[in-house]
Structure 1
Amino acid sequence: METNYKRIFLLGLLILVLGGCTDLDEELFGRLSPDNYYRTEEEALSSVVGVYQSLSRVADVGDAWRISEFGTDEFFVPGRASGGWFDEYNMEIMRHEVTPQNSASARAWSWYIFPAIGRANAVIQSLEDSPNSDQLQTLIAETRALRAYAYFYAMDFWGNVPIFTEARVDPENLPTTNTRQEVFDFVVSEMEAAAEVMPSVNDVDRSSYYPRFTKEAVYAALATIYLNGEVYTGTPHWEDALANAERVINSGAFSLEERVQDCFLATNESNSPEIIVGFSIDPNRNAGANQFILYTQHALTKEKYDLPFTPANGYSTGPIALNRYEDRDERKAMIEHGPQYYSNGEPMLLANGEQLELIPIQDMTAAEDNEGFKVLKYSPEGVSWSGFNADNDFVLIRYSDMLLIKAECLFRLGNHGEALNLVNQVRERSNATLLSSLTLDDIEDERAREFLWEGHRRRDMIRFGSYFTDTFGIKTGVTEEWRGIYPIPAEQIVANPMLDQNPNYPNQ
């Protein structure tokens, strides 16, 4: 049975309002129960929608996305001399000096990642308890894959976290810490089991099934997880990452867009041949909101892009990211830098009559308003605005990632020739000069160019080692390897003394 996901989104949101909680000691579905509600797949899917909506927040501009970009060489949020934006906890992450008291990490745990896990647990139990559970096995598998994806983020950020799959927590039997290896094994086994049951993208109507996970979406997630397998477990998993990337590639269901930027248009979501995993966003129906332009752009771009609000001039990048691109590389156009102009070619003038010129950040704690380059990741073209909220869908995994994952795995396994061809396939799309030879540094740099601000950079830098050795922004020295995972937030250990703090971090 094929069901239009967006058609039932409002029904799903009604369920969330009725229950509206991620506290596992409360009822998720209000007065609705498995006995009187799950009569059809569509009714059951309306509850799974809530899990999608909760998981989608890993890709928005909130703390889960920010801690995947903070501490890298492509993302900075300077405090402004004019007031605002300074946050010592942000500075702490950028310096690689995160403590258990860090509020950004704590919010990522308690507002984003574990609420998605808790919601998935409750929905899975309700589906399994339904008298019609035999007809809901595919939806159960789908929800298990969503929960595993949320656990992947928990494992990536904090390493050693509790695996908990019940709908409620027993206060007399609180969850205990599992090792990163155990979480890795759980995530992989859950996703592999789900993929056995879920439909292929080739067996559904793609436009109506979007943005639900398909078999290929799970394979793409597994490729991503296995790619950092040595980081998570100490054992390389290049063959496993390669096999899953090839499953997606060999499906024949995906291809590169004409331009990278086309993947991020509000008008090209369910129809994009490149997006493997995305999250549906519609602020006009209270179904999520995309605020990248609000948080990123300079105030003067309100007129440039005909925005119904004044952007807040927060998120920035710098010369390291910019200088990775050659001038002919079309992806370079995503980074706004230097003298700024309106769409008609007229200079963008400040109140004092001078032209706005975006320059590198000079002072991370008291930057002037023109300091910091801007990334126009999600285009304002064709957006249906709801205040400062755009309706561009969030993009999580693209086909180009599968090509570059395959290239990296082949290179590490000794097949340099085919790896070079795959990297050049991605470069050719953006008019970048084709490479004549390939190194691991080339692969890392190509991933940085291709996936700027897509939440991959921290994982990539840790895998390649540059996270620890390179200096950038206010990170001025070598980072200890144990800082490759964040500390368990102190507030979580206070709430659950059964949790263990990560090595080398204090409990408080």
Structure 2
Amino acid sequence: MKTKYLNTYKRLFLVMIAAAFLGCESNLDIEQQGVTSSENFYQSDSDALEAIAAVYESWRGSLYTQYFLKNLLSDDIHCGGGARGDNSQFEQLNEYNFTPANTSVSDLFATYYNVIYLSNLVINRLGPDTEIRQRAVAEAHAIRGAVYFDLITLWGEVPYVISELSPEEYQQPNGSLTELWALVEDDLTYAIDSGALPTKGSAEDMAEPARLTVEAAKSFYGKALLFQERYAESATVLKEVINSGNFQLYPTFDDVLREVSDFSSESVFEYNSLNDAANPWTQGNLLWGIMHGWRSDKLNLFGYFGGLHPIYPAGWGFANPTEELYSAFVEMEGPQGVRLQGTIKTYYELLGMYIALNEGSSVYGNEGYFNWKHRYVGYEVIETSYGFTTTANIRVMRYAEVLLMASEACLQSGDTASALQYINEVRSRVELPALGAVTLQDIKKEKRLELCFEGIRYQDLVRWGDTDALSERGHEIPIFSGLNADGSFNVTYPYSNPNYGFQAKHNLLPFPEHEMNVNQNINQNPGW
């Protein structure tokens, strides 16, 4: 289940280092031993595998930043951490007080264009001579399309780059949305129609499940069409994924992000954990678990060692659920709802696991609710010299998201029967009664609760025009200090700023300050 496929990018890195020295003076053009030049690299099947591994690895490198950026911009979590200022860049995002200098914004933008650069190398340099090379090219197209989807929906008119650039071409202007969306569609349809991607559950997929399938490419394509409000086309593509018969929802919602469901029938695409403590930086999710972990300096978590609960006593306390999200769960399914119990735990429930606040302690960015969906459990922890990581894979897209996108696309294109069928399939897994009719509001609520903390909500709120839900973000930052004498939560709000929160300019992220400083041809997004 844990493959080492994605580690082969290292040799390609050496190739690129060597390429940086091409064009030197003749007296420096000494043949290097043991180094492959860029001209000689993209020739063999092994070269193709190493090149596409580099693309995957770069894309994986974006997951941590994109996950936190997208979730912090939603109305589902408080930033949290050890105290005010623990991670000021994250706090700025969560409170809508960020600028073009925000490091998460700049890091994600830069990483995405590195993915595009590496994808372009594969697409433009590999010939379609063998099945291995054909698959690598198809994967590069699909990944480039998926990355441009995020760039468009987060930044808007980003630079359009599909080839290697000379230094004179580095200062690229804004692209047009028309050509950018066309590129996303062309890339994803190329991958789909190439015949080079395996199907879910095939022998090729089972051998290397961390690589893209044709259904994954179709799912990304259907999502791109949905965001363009091309509902009938989106429904057609997403139905192909559903009707393939290759996917099912994992039986227990409580385990959808756990190692036990890695590469399950619900997985559309996910990145694998290598479970290699000796080489933690190859994990790709080194900080994933510990960022979500509950803080052992604030909470008494040491019952773990006596078997009283599964929570590992190490963590930094970020990404705490909002009270408003908890209330949305209770409104739909009650306090004992299957999905709520698999997503959030209240402080009362922590007490039932023999977990309590240490005397005199309080939890920053918390209203008495704790992230259970991304819980940091001991049986998945890999202890390394750099800290702690987790054996569970990182989900990029689940089949539940496909079903809910299809439900929306079908409803908006007049196929209400299919829309109802797909949303009820999601509800059935968490033991909710079937709806007799479905509205767009039903789908919005279902999607929020099913996919919260998975980096989906912010882009949905923007495309739906529902950003009023974000208007008071940052107005009040909570601190949880246990229970009052009457048993209610002791929550105070010592940090407040009525000027924070979503504004019109936040429909798009700003182009990073560094990009604006070095690229005179790009125009900043409105309001920034």
TM-score range, shorter chain: 0.7 to 0.9
Match of 2:283 in 1: 288
- Answer whether contact 1:295 1:314 (CA < 8 A) is retained: yes
Q: How far apart are residue 138 of structure 1 and its match?
A: 2.7
Change (3 A) 1:420 1:134: closer
Once the two structures are superposed, the pairs formed by residues 452-467 of structure 1 within 5 Å of their partners are 452-467=452-467
Question: 1:293-351 CA distances to partner (integer Å, 9 max, x unpaired)?
Answer: 31122223465366776201122111122122223421112212222548xx5522343
Corresponding position of 2:514: 491
Hey, what's the Cα distance between the residues in 2 that align with 1:39 and 1:433?
57
The 5 Å alignment of 1:382-461 reads 382-383=379-380, 385-387=382-384, 388-461=388-461
Q: Deviations over 1:73-124 (max 9, x none)?
A: 112214654x55251x4344334454323332112212x3222222222333
Corresponding residue number in structure 2 for 1:232: none
> Which residue matches 2:213?
214
Q: Is the CA contact (8 Å cut-off) linking 1:261 and 1:377 kept in structure 2?
A: no
How many Å separate the matches in 1 of 2:412 and 2:434?
20
2:346 aligned partner, one-letter code = H
Counterpart CA distance in 2 for 1:324 and 1:48 is 42
Partner SS for 1:373: strand
- 8 Å CA contact 1:92–1:98 kept in 2: the answer is yes
- Whether contact under 8 Å (2:81, 2:316) holds in the other structure is no
Between 1:68-77 and 1:377-386, the stretch displaced more is: 377-386
The 3-state SS of whatever aligns with 1:432 is coil
Any conservation in 2 of the 1:341–1:347 contact (CA below 8 Å)?
yes
| Counterpart in the other structure of 1:151 | 148
Relative distance call for 1:242 and 1:348 in structure 2 (3 A) is same
CA distance in 1, matches of 2:211, 2:507: 31
Among candidates 355, 361, 381, match of residue 348 of structure 1: 355
Q: Is the 8 A contact 1:76 1:94 kept in 2?
A: yes
| Higher mean C-alpha deviation, range 159-168 or range 471-480 | 471-480
Q: Give the whole-Å Cα distance in 1 for the aligned partners of 2:344 and 2:112.
A: 29
Equivalent in the alignment of 1:329:
337
CA contact (8 A) 1:462 1:468 kept: no
Check conservation: 2:105, 2:512, Cα contact below 8 A: yes
Equivalent residue letter for 2:271: F
In structure 2, the CA distance between the partners of 1:283 and 1:200, relative to structure 1 (3 Å rule), is closer
The aligned residue for residue 233 of structure 1 is none
Counterpart secondary structure, 1:339: helix
Aligned to 1:226: 225
Distance 1:381 1:452, change over 3 A: farther
Does structure 1 residue 318 correspond to structure 2 residue 302? no
Quote the Cα distance in structure 1 between the aligned partners of 2:5 and 2:237.
31
What residue number does 2:100 align with? 100
Deviation at 1:254, TM superposition (A): 0.8
- Pairing of 1:97-176 with structure 2 (within 5 A): 97-110=97-110, 112-128=111-127, 136-171=133-168, 174-176=171-173
Looking at structure 2, the residues matched to 59 and 39 of structure 1 have their Cα atoms a distance apart, in angstroms, of 30
Letter in 2 for 1:263: V
2:191 aligned with 1:194: yes
Identity fraction in percent? 19
| Closer, same or farther: CA 357–258 of 1 in aligned 2, 3 Å | farther
Question: Structure 1 residues 277 and 346, CA, compared in 2 at 3 Å: closer, same or farther?
Answer: closer
Q: Could you tell me which residue of structure 1 aligns to residue 295 of structure 2?
A: 299
Shift of 1:54: 1.3
> d(CA) in 1 for partners of 2:337 and 2:366?
28
Given that 1:162 and 1:175 are in contact with CA atoms closer than 8 Å, whether structure 2 keeps it comes out as: yes
Distance 1:346 1:141, change over 3 A: closer
**Within 1, Cα distance between the matches of 2:355 and 2:16?**
45
1:205 Cα offset (Å): 3.5
Q: Distance in 2 between matches of 1:185 and 1:490?
A: 28
Superposed CA RMSD in Å reads 3.2
Distance change in 2, residues 1:368/1:379 (3 Å): closer
The Cα shift of 1:172 comes to 5.4
Amino acid at match of 1:390: T
Deviations 1:378-434 (A, max 9, x none): 663642514311121111111111211111112112333432232111011011233
User: TM-score scaled to structure 1, two decimals?
Assistant: 0.83
Structure 1: state its 5+ residue gaps.
Answer: 230-235, 359-366
Q: TM-score scaled by structure 2?
A: 0.80
Structure 2 CA distance for partners of 1:385 and 1:117, relative to 1, 3 Å: same
Counterpart AA for 1:240: E
Amino acid at match of 2:86: W
Take 1:280 and 1:243, find their aligned partners in 2: how far apart are those partners? Answer: 30
Aligned partners of 1:53 and 1:287 also within 8 Å? no
Counterpart-to-counterpart distance in 2, 1:34 and 1:71? 40
Asked if the contact 2:262–2:393 (Cα under 8 Å) also holds between the matched residues in 1, the reply is yes
CA distance in 2: counterparts of 1:465 and 1:337, whole angstroms: 31
Q: Does 2:204 match 1:239?
A: no
- Structure 2 portions without partners, runs of 5+: 23-33, 476-497
Which residue, 269, 278, 288 being the options, matches 1:277?
269
346 and 418 in structure 1: CA distance in 2 versus 1, 3 angstrom threshold: closer
2-structure distance, mates of 1:263, 1:410: 25
Richer in strand (by share): 2
For 2:520, give the aligned amino acid.
P
Q: What is the alpha-carbon distance in structure 2 between the residues aligned to residue 428 and residue 454 of structure 1?
A: 20
Matching residue's letter, 2:339: R
- For 1:46-57, list aligned pairs within 5 A: 46-57=50-61
What is the match of residue 74 of structure 2?
A: 72
- Displacement after TM superposition at 1:26 (Å): 7.2
Distance 1:32 1:186, change over 3 A: same
Bigger radius of gyration among the two: 2
Give the SS at the match of 1:171.
helix
C-alpha separation in 2, matches of 1:503 and 1:7? 44
Report how many residues are paired. 473
2:31 match = none
Shift of 1:24: 9.5
Q: Distance in 2 between matches of 1:173 and 1:385?
A: 41
Tell me which amino acid in the other structure corresponds to 1:148.
Answer: G
Q: Which residue of 1 aligns with 2:348?
A: 339
